[in-house]
Amino acid sequence: MPDNLSVKILELIIKNIGDTARLNHILESIQKNKTIYNSDQKYVESLLPKLSEKNKVNSEDNTNEELSKESTMKEDEKDVSNVQLKRSLDEAIKKIENIEKKSMIEEKTPSKDLEKSLNIATKKIDSLENKAKDQAYREQFYKSTGTTLVLSLVLGLFGLLGLGHMYIGKESKGWRLLVIGLVLIVVGIFLWSMGGIGIILIIVYYALWVYQFSNSWNLCKQNNEYMKTTGRSLW
C-alpha cells in the first residue's frame, strides 16, 4: 500500500493537484518509513478522484490528438494519392496526344515503302498504257500476209491488180497497178480477138500480176517485222 500510495502522491505532485508542500511531506514520510497520519491518508484519498478525472481528460485529449493525427495522416495520404493520380492522368493524356500527333504525321507523310509502291504502280500503269497504245497501233496497221496474197493473187487473175498493195497501205501504188492492169487486160483481149498483138499484152499483164502479188507479200512481211521492233509502220 505505501508503494502504491507513494506513486499516487507523486502523480498528484506532477499534475499539480492539491497542496504540493503537504504532498511532498507525506511522500518524504513514506520514503523514510515513518508513520503516516490518518488525516494525511484521507487527504490523499480525497485527491484521487480529481487525479482519475484529470487522467481521463488527458486520455481523451490524447485519443483525440491521436485521431487528429491519424486523420491528418489520412488526408495527407489522400492528397499524395490524388497528386499521384493527377500525374498518372497527365502522363496518359500526353501519351495519347503524342500517339495522335504521330498518327496525323504518318497520315500526312507517306512512308518510304508506300511511296516506293506508288512509284512502282505508276510505272506499271504507264507501261500498260504504252503497251495498250502499241497494241492498238499494231492492230490498226498490222496486216495479214494471207489476206495480202488472196487479194493480190486470186483477184489479180481476174484483172484486179494492186488490191494487195492497197490493203497494206500502199494505196497510190495499188491504184496505178489496178489502172495499168485493167488497160492491159481490156486492150489485150480486144486485140487478141482481132487477131493482132493482143497476146503480148496478156503476157505482160500476167508478168505484172506475178510481180504485184510477190511485191505486196514482201512489203507486208517487212512492215510487220518493222512494227514488232519499233511499234511503227514503214509508211
Asked if 133 and 168 sit in the same domain, the reply is no
Query: Burial of 31 by CB count in 10 Å (0-12 exposed, 13-18 middle, 19+ buried)?
Result: exposed
CA dihedral over 25, 31, 34, 35, signed as positive or negative: positive
Q: Where a domain ends, among 18, 42, 71?
A: 71
Cell of 215: 511485191
Asked if 122 and 149 sit in the same domain, the reply is no
Q: Is residue 174 part of a domain?
A: yes
* Span 205-230, average pLDDT: 88
pLDDT higher for 57 or 71? 57
Domain range spanning residue 119?
Answer: 112-137
List, in sequence order, the alpha helices (H) in the chain. 2-14, 20-31, 38-108, 112-141, 145-149, 163-168, 171-193, 198-230
Domain count, the chain: 3
pLDDT at 103: 60
pLDDT higher for 176 or 132? 176
Cell of 74: 489520412
Asked if 218 and 149 sit in the same domain, the reply is yes
Q: How far is CA 130 from CA 29, 110, 135, 208, 223, in A?
A: 129, 28, 8, 41, 20
Asked if 58 and 118 sit in the same domain, the reply is no
pLDDT at 218: 92
* Span 99-127, average pLDDT: 66
CA 51 to chain centre: 83
Q: Is residue 188 part of a domain?
A: yes
Asked if 132 and 146 sit in the same domain, the reply is no
pLDDT at 176: 92
pLDDT confidence bin for 197, thresholds 50/70/90: confident
The string of pLDDT tens digits covering residues 66-93 is 555 555 555 555 555 556 666 766 676 6
The string of pLDDT tens digits covering residues 21-45 is 877 887 787 777 777 778 877 887 8
pLDDT higher for 198 or 84? 198
Asked if 15 and 64 sit in the same domain, the reply is yes
Asked if 63 and 120 sit in the same domain, the reply is no
Spatial distance between the Cα atoms of 21 and 12, rounded to a whole number of angstroms: 11
